DNA sequence: CTAGATTGCTCAATCGATGAAGCAAGAATT
DNA sequence: AATTCTTGCTTCATCGATTGAGCAATCTAG
């Protein structure tokens, strides 16, 4: 601060000169293995004091270039703007740091091109392991990592080539569907088939959730029509549009809905509001994902909360165990106590 | 992929050997200035083909060590789990990439210790610029950066030593307060003083918002009591607890509330629900921050949406202009059209 | 036919940190 | 007193990419 505007940053050579010693001694002292290298504690203290005074900061690039392990762990994630991914990212950072790893995270907006570029960049930064969260093409990423001799793992959406940690979408969706159907029976007096809305029919999670959705209906002896399954994509506008179109088909819309993410729920709520059903207590909703304000929305929306800490614990277990066979680990989601309708 | 499990990653020397050329030619070709270095396009193509085949990825550590500029830009952010910071982070990544910079972001949980550590780590990674978002001690970070000859900027909360980009908290809060008071008059027939809840009295933003809150009351001739200002911290539990304590004081709580963030709003909503006021249409709320589901909460909650793209544009303008005088740039927040009550 | 320019490359130093190998001086052992 | 051990350092090669300097071959101009 009081120093002159320096263009060059302080290096161990500068410190060595100031301390009247060698760069190698400085290095040993500053990275903590000076005892192993038999540096006297007097010199160690002197060097540490000078480093402190000079505001020395390690040049990580130089250090990493020389070392065999980078201790960097990468994650790509589709979006930051919902509680599920926000929580994944925050928990991931925390757990990584707790293990002495440096997390780098990048958001790829569900864009396959960006995913590949991000993965390549992370490989350039010498990540030791790359977690592909909700990737559109996880196997592509696994291949890139494998070619560079780097481990990879899938989170949220499974891949065929690397270990995957995902929610138990089938069981979660089945239980959620059951609850919506039960609420629906209570409030409407009869059990009607629900509408499934949101997600991509082509992604594993959506497919599994639809399977759970069907099975819950079947268990309770309710038939599901094909036209009640709207895997229209995740974006709010897509859900909104899909409901408009489905409403145009003529028959009345189901009163009960299984919404496949909070993102889609935004669109559904906008539609509900626009169509004047906001205070309609006969609408019975459930959502596969959790958000604190949705709880308070008042329609007694059932929610499934994916077990983010549980999933990330599994991720780090896999990393630490060194496993890289393409297993799929399913973590049961948490289903909070039913909301009062 | 079909290669043998390689411990060593492919380097330009490997490529050079495969192509029967020198590492320096490979380097020139792969970083795009082979024309400048008069490499024939035949050789260039050959090298690029081989690099592709081998799945070569640059070693960024080596590259950055040699180059003068890292093109890395860092950001520290308090939390990921609300729309405001989620949006900041996502927009920041986008804008950084659009400018050819590599963004690294880390979450410091409003922990001063973590902030300093994160800043030091970022400096080690040779960031060219560090954005301290909502930092508890921005000036400490600016000092650390200055000592390393690195630029820094403050976002969301201002500092005294580096340029800062923040919301116009005063004007935003004044307008929000006016709206809540107006709604309150409409719904209750009279204009009562509001309760201010959430935030830290010691932070600049909260102080400015309280100033706007007071001014709006004064403008409309309403007196504000000191006990109606609860800067109890940001966490939901703190807001909840503060309301409990305030309710114990004996007098009735105000029917109108200015909530100082969506985070605090979570606690307020929990309290409202717990105390059986969830459907109480006489409660009149406003929140300084935006969330899509809050809009739908139905009590006609007024919201101020901070202009994240606007703020980040200013941030990058400052970076590009090279300014480092400690100015404070205030960006007006967006106040959506009033919700129907 | 030759001086000079141009083309297309290679060589080698360099960035900053690391750690194996080595060396000098003093302590301990025989 | 001679030998070995220990302590406390220093020297130097190395990690992979970059780039100024340089060199041989070919082309052009006179």
Quick: pLDDT tens for B47-101: 999 999 999 999 999 999 999 899 999 999 999 988 999 999 999 999 999 999 9
Chain A contacts of B293, Cβ < 8 Å? 262, 265-266, 269, 291, 293-294, 297
pLDDT over 90, % of chain B: 82
Q: Where in chain B is the domain with CATH 3.40.50.2300?
A: 68-162, 169-304
What is residue B250's predicted lDDT score, i.e. its pLDDT?
63
Half-sphere exposure of A19 (CA within 13 A, CB side): 27
Q: What Å value separates CA B271 and C1' D19?
A: 66
- Whether residue B252 has pLDDT greater than 50: yes
In the predicted model, what is the mean pLDDT of residues B103-107? Answer: 95
Say what the pLDDT of residue A44 is: 97
Distance of CA A285 to the CA centre of its chain: 24
pLDDT digits (tens, 9 = 90+) for A7-59: 579 999 999 999 999 999 999 999 999 999 999 999 999 999 999 999 999 99
Per CATH, domain A68-162 is 3.40.140.10: no
3-state helix, strand, coil in chain A (%, to 5): 45, 15, 40
- B296, A291: Cβ pair inside 8 Å? no
Alpha carbon separation from B329 to B317, B326, B335 (Å, rounded)? 11, 10, 19
Strands (E), chain B: 72-77, 102-107, 129-133, 151-155, 164-167, 195-197, 199-200, 229-230, 232-233, 256-259, 284-288, 302-304, 328-331
Predicted confidence at residue A151, as pLDDT, reads 95
How far apart CA B333 and CA B306 sit, in angstroms, is: 4
Per-residue model confidence (pLDDT) at position B157: 97
- CB within 8 Å: A59 and B81: no
Where, residue-wise, is CATH 1.10.260 in chain A? 12-65
Angle at A288 between CA A285 and CA A291, to 5 degrees: 85
Residue B341 — pLDDT band, cuts 50, 70, 90?
very low
pLDDT of residue B248: 82
B146 interface with A at CB cutoff 8 Å: yes
Instruction: Round to whole Å and give the CA distance between A156 and A175.
Output: 19
- Put simply, the chain B residues between 185 and 224 with a CB less than 8 A from any chain A CB are none
- pLDDT, tens digit, 9 for 90 and up, residues A113-150: 999 999 999 999 999 999 999 999 999 999 999 999 99
Third-level CATH fold of B12-60: 434 Repressor (Amino-terminal Domain) (1.10.260)
Q: Which residues of chain A have pLDDT under 70?
A: 1-7, 250-251, 338-341
**What per-residue confidence (pLDDT) applies to A4?**
41
C1' of C29 to CA of A24 (Å): 33
- Distance (Å) from the alpha carbon of B221 to chain A's nearest alpha carbon: 34
- Residue B267 near residue B287 (C-beta atoms within 8 A): no
Average pLDDT over residues B251-264: 91
Q: What average pLDDT does chain B have?
A: 92
pLDDT category at B302 given cuts 50, 70, 90 is very high
The CATH classification number of A12-65 equals 1.10.260
| Closest-approach residue (CA) in chain B for A10 | B148
Q: Which nucleotide is nearest to A61 (CA to C1')?
A: C16
CATH code for the domain defined by B169-304: 3.40.50.2300
């Amino acid at each position: 601060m009081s120093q002159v505007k320096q263009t060059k940053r302080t290096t161990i050579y500068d410190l060595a000169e100031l301390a009247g010693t060698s760069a190698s001694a400085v290095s040993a002292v500053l990275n903590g293995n000076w005892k192993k290298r038999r540096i006297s504690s007097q010199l160690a203290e002197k060097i540490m004091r000078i480093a402190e005074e000079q505001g020395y900061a390690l040049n990580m690039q130089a250090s990493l270039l020389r070392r065999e392990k980078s201790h960097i762990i990468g994650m790509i994630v589709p979006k930051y703007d919902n509680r599920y991914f926000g929580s994944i990212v925050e928990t991931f950072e925390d757990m990584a740091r707790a293990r002495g790893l440096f997390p780098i995270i990048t958001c790829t907006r569900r864009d396959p091109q960006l995913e590949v570029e991000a993965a390549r960049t992370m490989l350039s930064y010498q990540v030791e392991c790359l977690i592909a969260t909700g990737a559109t093409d996880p196997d592509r990423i696994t291949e890139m990592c494998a070619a560079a001799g780097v481990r990879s793992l899938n989170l949220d959406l499974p891949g065929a080539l690397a270990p995957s940690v995902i929610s138990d979408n089938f069981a979660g969706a089945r239980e959620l569907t059951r609850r919506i159907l039960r609420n629906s029976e209570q409030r409407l007096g009869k059990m009607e088939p629900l509408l499934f809305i949101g997600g991509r029919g082509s992604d594993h999670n959506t497919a599994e959730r639809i399977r759970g959705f069907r099975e819950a209906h079947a268990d309770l002896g309710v038939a599901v029509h094909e036209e009640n399954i709207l895997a229209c994509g995740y974006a709010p506008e897509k859900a909104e549009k899909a409901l408009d179109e489905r409403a145009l088909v003529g028959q009345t819309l189901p009163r009960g809905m299984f919404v496949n993410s909070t993102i889609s729920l935004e669109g559904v709520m906008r539609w509900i509001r626009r169509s004047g059903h906001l205070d309609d207590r006969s609408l019975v909703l459930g959502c596969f994902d959790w958000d604190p304000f949705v709880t308070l929305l008042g329609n007694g929306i059932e929610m499934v909360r994916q077990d983010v800490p549980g999933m990330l614990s599994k991720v780090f277990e896999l990393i630490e165990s060194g496993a890289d066979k393409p297993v799929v680990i399913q973590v049961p989601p948490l289903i909070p106590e039913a909301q009062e309708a």
